């Protein structure tokens, strides 16, 4: 399997829906792994896990 540039689809919730923090959903296109996040740290953790091949569905 050829390794390419990872692609993600990220949906960002409106600020009022997230109490002012960053929140939404993210999907890794190549594996269809997806997760919701309630902070920038959670989003970055998912992106990093997918980069390392450890992304998991929520």
Q: Which helix (H) or strand (E) holds 51?
A: helix 40-51
Higher pLDDT, 19 or 10: 10
Higher pLDDT, 16 or 48: 48
pLDDT recorded at residue 15: 82
pLDDT tens-digit profile of 25-51? Answer: 999 998 999 999 999 999 999 999 998
Higher pLDDT, 51 or 17: 51
pTM of the model: 0.78
Higher pLDDT, 54 or 27: 27
> Are the C-beta atoms of residues 32 and 8 closer than 8 Å to each other?
no
CA distances from residue 54 to 8, 12, 16, 17 in whole angstroms, order as listed: 14, 22, 31, 29
């Amino acid at each position: 399997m050829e390794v390419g540039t990872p692609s993600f689809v990220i949906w960002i919730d409106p600020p009022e829906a997230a109490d002012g923090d960053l929140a939404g959903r993210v999907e890794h296109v190549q594996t269809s792994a997806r997760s919701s996040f309630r902070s920038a740290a959670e989003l970055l953790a998912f992106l990093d896990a997918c980069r390392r091949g450890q992304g998991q569905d929520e």
